[in-house]
Amino acid sequence: MIIGYARVSTGGQTLDQQRAALKAADCKRIFEEKASGAQRSRPELVRMLEQLQPGNVVTVTRLDRLARSTR
């Protein structure tokens, strides 16, 4: 199963573009949240990780949506 994760950093931003891209990538389930990448508490990310099964693929629109720094 292809699973999507979308995140925006501030309440003023929208998830619309990420949501559309993840749907176009054929994600069957999309986890979304509005939280800074610097926050340790990201409940939707934790929920997604807990539900992953062998063979699942996690898709993001940009690597920095998963983590604040991609170094």
Domains of the chain in sequence order: 2-65 (3.40.50.1390)
* pLDDT value for 41: 80
Can you give the pLDDT at residue 55?
A: 97
DSSP label at residue 30 = E
14-32 confidence digits (pLDDT tens): 999 999 999 999 999 999 9
Catalytic annotation present for 9: yes
Pick the catalytic residue: 9, 36, 41, 69? 9
Strands (E), the chain: 2-8, 29-34, 57-59
- The pLDDT assigned to 13 comes to 87
pLDDT digits (tens, 9 = 90+) for 30-43: 999 987 766 678 89
Q: Which pLDDT does position 9 carry in this prediction?
A: 85
Q: What is the pTM of this model?
A: 0.86
Question: Tokens at residue 68, please?
Answer: 């604040």
